[in-house]
Structure 1
Amino acid sequence: MTSARMNTPVRASELEGRAWLNTGGERLDLQALRGKIVILDFWSFCCINCLHVLDELRPLEEKYADVLVTVGVHSPKFEHEADPDALAAAVDRYEITHPVLDDPRLSTWDAYTARAWPTLVVVDPEGYIVAHLSGEGHVQGLESLVSELVAEHDAKGTLHRGDGPYVPRPQPEGDLRFPGKVVALPDGSFMVSDTGHHRLVHLEEDLTTVRRAIGSGTKGWADGPRDAARFNEPQGIAVLPERVRADVGYDLVVADTVNHRLRGVELGTGAVRTLAGNGVQRLLDDARARGVDPNEIPQDASATSVALSSPWDVTWSDAADTLVVAMAGTHQLFSFDPRTGALAVLAGTGDEGLRDGSAPESWFAQPSGLAQDAHGAVWVADSESSALRRVRFGEDGSTSVESAVGLGLFDFGFRDGPADQARFQHCLGVCVLPDGSVAVADTYNGAVRRFDPATGEVSTLTRGLAEPSDVLLDTSHDEPVLVVVETNAHRLVRVAVPKQAQTVDEGAASMQRKRTPVAPGELELTVRFSAPTGQKLDTRWGDPTQLKVSSSPEDALVQGDGTAQGLTRSLRIADGVTEGVLHITARAAACDGSPDGEIPEHAACHLYQQDWGIPFTVDPQAPAGLALDLRGTD
């Protein structure tokens, strides 16, 4: 377990897809990349874990710029992601500086047997696969492997140094670049997160005139005056209640997404301060490796010492008397009290999926939009499950989660009607209308939809928008008007709420991926993990590995579901089941230290995790085993 390197390298498959981006119009193949170390990054632009990996890889790409080429293989989950214009916008939005292969039919995905987003495959300068990794958090092992390959192929004369094939795309100009979220300010103006410019922009009531910017516009993290502060892809903004603003000395709380922090902004001066988060992505938190429940945040911990993960939206809850944070990166909701600095997990186990019930037992899937209603409930746009969820706060102090619209990770579409039949597609924003109904920024459908809790019906308010990511009720008009953040059009627009909404039915859909054949009855599940060079499994508190298994439909498994230690599990497919989806989460904790030695007392520890959704079909001729790679060793 000393390397991520495969014991038996195999020849890499050719790169096939519809088109290439970031190459100046040139089509690449493996022969054109011969002599370079290649990392194939299988990603989709909806996936928060994939966005994390983009940022993890940036320092590695910079350090080895003359010998390493990353190729992003875009493998869409949602229908909208197969739109070439949407993919080009995502490449620009996330400032991707390596070639990207558009693979809408999943041809290259299938050729490399990818089963999860993200998957990383390393190809050596002679065209052989030397590593196959799933999930995030692998950059330390990748750096060791790249260093090994550089030395080896330098000595063999098979390493070619020099510039890679990346060619920058022309960038649009304007006051806003991929805006994310918007809030109304007390004086009738608006504050928008100018995500692509890494700043906030204060707009006049006309939604176009810029009053001022907050933040230098340079990506990074810095507190201070408004023209010197730095953000990194900020998203949600919340205006604190007046009574709270008076206590804490600032007015706004900003979800500084890629900095993994919450920031405070004083409206008068524009000064910015850090409120919570230490800048370390929570997935890499070493709590579990130290035998601590990662969902338990010590009460005496300072908010700026706690790791967060891609906070995407924030809203004040009167019922809970605290700020609610959509922690997209860990599929949870957090609470943050600005008056005390107290942070806590409000809802969600951290498992990705759609499960209702009590808050500590619920599952979310990349929650990305929040809004409070008149009854104190908080509505959640749960993007990866294309669902609208509701969080209720009981008088007895209990908190519960229920789904209004949505079925799970792999079901989406554009369909109005009864809530149990209606479908969204990767919704990111939500707001409550005067009549108590809920407007939803149905992002990948390019629409604003409405859910009426009184009737249980979903309808369409407007469509034809360019990835609307947020929606806000504008109370300055006699009739209800919405302010919509039209992200891919780089603007905010007003949309009147029609007295008669549309009814649209373009059908329901499920993610289309090749199904894995499995034998009926017994199925042996194995997740392979190899600690990277310089680390070893941390066995100080017992087995540091864990599997969580469930299925869709729920009764597809009659044995082997649930959570237990270890990376192997005996499953049994129920009689009569012909197809379904296995939901598998694997975790492993490793700490710095030699494989044959003790782990130093204060060693850094790392949590490796991956969620898989494996569509399967039952075939009597199929093998009775399923092997997945968390860190592949062949």
Structure 2
Amino acid sequence: MSPVPQSEMLDELAVDVMDLQSQMADESNKSKHKQMIKKMIDKNFTSKKYQPIPEFEKGLDWFNVTQPLTWKEHLTGSIVVVDFWTYCCINCLHILPQLHKIEKKFKPSDGLLILGCHSAKFTNEKSSENVKAAILRHDISHPVVNDLNNETWNKLNIQCWPTLLFLSPSGCPFYLVMGEGRIEEIEMVLNIALDYYRDAQVLAPRNIPLKPAALPSNPFELKFPSKIQCSNYDSSDTSEPLYAFSDSGNHRIIIFNTNGNVVHQIGQCGVAGSDDGNFTEAKFNCPQGVAWLDKKTLFVADTENHLIRMIILEQRKVQTIIGNKNQGTDFNGGQLPLQQAISSPWDLVVYKTKNLDMSFHEDDTQVPQKVVVIIAMAGLHQIWGYYMEQTIWWRYQVQNANTAVAIAGNGEERNRNNDYPKHASFAQPSGLCLLRNSHELFIADSESSSIRKMSLESGKVSAVVGASNNPMNLFAYGDVDGQKYTARLQHPLGLAHHPSEHSVFVADTFNNKIKKVNVQVDSIQTMRIVDDETNEVFKFNEPADLCMTPDGTNLLVLNTNSHEIIKVNLSTLRSTQFHLKWPAQKIHNAQGLPPSIPIVVVPNGRVFKKGSNTFNLSIALNLHEGVKLTPDAPQKIQPFLFRGWRLDSFESQKLLFEGRSNVAVKIPPGTTDGDVTLHFILLLCDEKDSSCFRKEFGVKIALKFVSSSDPISPEPVFIGVTKSEILIR
């Protein structure tokens, strides 16, 4: 048999797999499923029907490895599953937890390697820096190649995101999975394939030069902040506002006041999970949208847990209100909320409405308002509503209390508008904002690169700006100001309403810009925002969301891939970085140190006897939990006195690579009571050298000098360093 040409072999393989899946659907016996899969693997292996895939192009950027991988040197001898993905795609993101599960079960040394081939949809996704940020954000540890111009995608005629291509130890395709949600089938195929190729004596894994990237979590720094909302969304509310935002990469929610003082940190920094409990016990997993019910209650779209959580500030409590922790495929809803599986909720808003029944009167102030939490269900391409009490909404539909249901979108990934909300289609809705006076919901429909709106009185879904009038075309993107379908955006994620100007601000994420929609004429225009320091146009880095201050003077923009908040003055369109102020007992800024690094205070300080000699402050540095100093890397401890004096620093030759170092800071004679702050810059690795990371922090020690006649020998300051903590005594 002649091998199938490269350009046709995946088409033919897809037909073979679909035929196999059809046979398995007609047969409920799992053991027979295994026999069918093994027969297909054997047929492809013995007939040599499919030839090896080509090597990846030279010169491409690789991640999580120390050198580019080739079939000749690294991949031959292993089963390789190539994940063709693009980081904007919600379906691709749904695959990642499944791949994590497989990687925990099978190691490269077992003969199985996951390899990501990033094949961009949007222009912005071609950037290797942006691909690297996505890898860090989603904790991807397997090798990834940035297929810059989709050369491999085109050569193999890949048709959709995500696609998993299974390759034999000789690099020949033997199975194909398109789309998500097939984890049982994938695991079955891999188990059978590993046994088959091992028995055939062709499984001979080689050494893979893995070196996963890591961006360590820091309790005093942000990591991919994603969604923000102000508590005072009603202009009549003149009380002190609070701001809540999701610090997604750190798996936590942060609440701060007008002055930037952090008043609550909710969740365990850097630790993903789904636990309910108090603010220090609770865990989130890449949370996105936040929405205030009032100043006592906050809702959170806990995206990768597929949950909606409620934060009760007075009780310092987090509880789950929707979801069963499983990714759902239900396009209707209506089950008990904790049994209702949902899929990647990305944003939410709180809407208050009167019952829209025959007795409805717009000016009837005596009619109580009902609360509806509206959810952008990105994973199902729908808009959902959660009703806290029985509500009669549009078209006199009665919605039961304490239920979550789909209210718009039929679940097809399209850009279809319609007078009937269930006949409309969305493409990964990811941002919401309310125009409360007109009872309209504006939607950032990211995969169609458009802004759309839905009437909250009739359910009608209509276009605002961007995309194509062809509902099937999800590639009508670009960067063009204009009206309706003449405008072009690129994967917008965030929205904020300016009620007095009849406008909506847009975080046009992949264009790295902030734009403004005139909602009266459905047009959009780029805002020329100038950096207040450089006087040049500010360069955003995938801004994901924004909100307006209640006085209408400023925008707060989450500049996500730069891990920062930017404040934009709406009168001058000048920008500055907005600095959060962490609780005083946890962080202090010391003169001479960079203002952004965390400072840990040593309890009680150290006491010395007054005198004219130089004082030695002993420091014992200990590395724990498999952490060690990176060999040959420049390590540094730089001491500063409270007056800003810089003392002698300690370079790498003073630090022992065994993980323990004892050094003495020489305090000059004549020093009076005050502080010394040690600025640590450590380059660390885990014990297997599988990941390396930078640890920068300060340690502040109060010095006191007494006249006691007794000799004083202050004990050393013990500093313990782990991947996630700085331990002091």
Tell me the TM-score normalised to structure 2 length.
Answer: 0.63
Aligned to 2:317: 271
Distance across 1 between alignment mates of 2:96 and 2:556: 31
Letter in 1 for 2:445: D
Distance across 1 between alignment mates of 2:207 and 2:315: 45
Classify the secondary structure of the residue corresponding to 1:282. Answer: coil
1:495 aligns with 2:568: yes
Classify the secondary structure of the residue corresponding to 1:233. Answer: coil
- Give the conservation status (yes or no) of the 8 Å contact 2:66–2:209: no
> Shift of the alpha carbon at 1:163?
6.2
> Shift of the alpha carbon at 1:441?
0.5
1:416 aligns with 2:460: no
Alignment of 1:16-55 (within 5 A): 16-17=56-57, 18-31=59-72, 32-55=74-97
- Give the conservation status (yes or no) of the 8 Å contact 1:319–1:376: no
1:183 aligns with 2:229: yes
Letter in 2 for 1:258: E
* Aligned with 1:296 (options 332, 347, 351): 332
- Give the conservation status (yes or no) of the 8 Å contact 1:14–1:29: no
Aligned to 1:520: none
Of Structure 1 and Structure 2, which has the larger fraction of its residues in strand? 1
Distance across 2 between alignment mates of 1:25 and 1:165: 6
- Give the conservation status (yes or no) of the 8 Å contact 2:413–2:426: yes
Question: Which runs of no fewer than 5 residues in structure 1 stay unpaired?
Answer: 243-249, 284-293, 502-634
1:375 aligns with 2:438: yes
Aligned to 2:544: 469
Aligned to 1:445: 511
Distance across 1 between alignment mates of 2:464 and 2:425: 14
- Give the conservation status (yes or no) of the 8 Å contact 2:497–2:548: yes
* Aligned with 1:137 (options 169, 181, 185): 181
- Give the conservation status (yes or no) of the 8 Å contact 2:53–2:172: no
Alignment of 1:503-542 (within 5 A): none
Distance across 2 between alignment mates of 1:19 and 1:173: 29
* Aligned with 1:346 (options 390, 397, 407): 407
> Shift of the alpha carbon at 1:173?
5.5
> Shift of the alpha carbon at 1:210?
3.5
Aligned to 2:248: 195
RMSD: 2.1
Alignment of 1:233-632 (within 5 A): 233-241=286-294, 251-283=297-329, 294-298=330-334, 301-319=335-353, 321-339=371-389, 340-357=401-418, 358-373=420-435, 374-394=437-457, 398-406=458-466, 407=468, 408-433=473-498, 434-461=500-527, 462=529, 464-476=539-551, 479-498=552-571
Instruction: Kindly tell me the number of residue pairs found equivalent between the two proteins.
Output: 476
- Give the conservation status (yes or no) of the 8 Å contact 2:382–2:406: yes
Question: Which moves more between the two structures, 193-202 or 382-391?
Answer: 193-202
Letter in 2 for 1:459: Q
Classify the secondary structure of the residue corresponding to 2:102. Answer: helix
1:102 aligns with 2:146: yes
Distance across 2 between alignment mates of 1:257 and 1:163: 36
Alignment of 1:80-159 (within 5 A): 80-159=124-203
Change (3 A) 1:384 1:176: same
- Give the conservation status (yes or no) of the 8 Å contact 2:136–2:214: no
Aligned to 1:12: 52
Alignment deviations for residues 540-581 of structure 1 (CA, whole Å, 9 cap, x no partner): xxxxxxxxxxxxxxxxxxxxxxxxxxxxxxxxxxxxxxxxxx
Letter in 1 for 2:147: D
- Give the conservation status (yes or no) of the 8 Å contact 1:37–1:68: yes
Classify the secondary structure of the residue corresponding to 2:305. Answer: coil
- Give the conservation status (yes or no) of the 8 Å contact 1:20–1:26: no
> Shift of the alpha carbon at 1:456?
2.9
Classify the secondary structure of the residue corresponding to 1:132. Answer: strand
Alignment deviations for residues 363-407 of structure 1 (CA, whole Å, 9 cap, x no partner): 00000000101211110000000010101023xxx3110010122
Largest Rg, 1 or 2: 2
Classify the secondary structure of the residue corresponding to 1:160. Answer: coil
> Shift of the alpha carbon at 1:201?
1.7
1:167 aligns with 2:211: yes
- Give the conservation status (yes or no) of the 8 Å contact 1:382–1:427: yes
> Shift of the alpha carbon at 1:500?
8.7
Distance across 1 between alignment mates of 2:262 and 2:210: 34
- Give the conservation status (yes or no) of the 8 Å contact 2:465–2:522: no
Letter in 2 for 1:279: K
Change (3 A) 1:188 1:21: farther
> Shift of the alpha carbon at 1:318?
2.6
* Aligned with 1:212 (options 264, 267, 278): 264
> Shift of the alpha carbon at 1:274?
0.6
Question: Which moves more between the two structures, 306-315 or 57-66?
Answer: 57-66
Tell me the TM-score normalised to structure 1 length.
Answer: 0.72
Classify the secondary structure of the residue corresponding to 2:326. Answer: coil
Distance across 1 between alignment mates of 2:488 and 2:572: 22
- Give the conservation status (yes or no) of the 8 Å contact 2:326–2:342: yes
Classify the secondary structure of the residue corresponding to 1:116. Answer: coil
Letter in 2 for 1:21: W
Aligned to 2:588: none
Letter in 2 for 1:150: L
> Shift of the alpha carbon at 1:342?
1.1
Change (3 A) 1:12 1:138: farther
Distance across 2 between alignment mates of 1:500 and 1:239: 27
Distance across 2 between alignment mates of 1:102 and 1:134: 20
Letter in 2 for 1:224: G
Alignment deviations for residues 166-197 of structure 1 (CA, whole Å, 9 cap, x no partner): 31124266421001101224643322101001
Letter in 1 for 2:553: P
Letter in 1 for 2:213: R
The percent identity for this pair of structures is 32
> Shift of the alpha carbon at 1:268?
2.5
Distance across 2 between alignment mates of 1:430 and 1:185: 16
> Shift of the alpha carbon at 1:92?
0.7
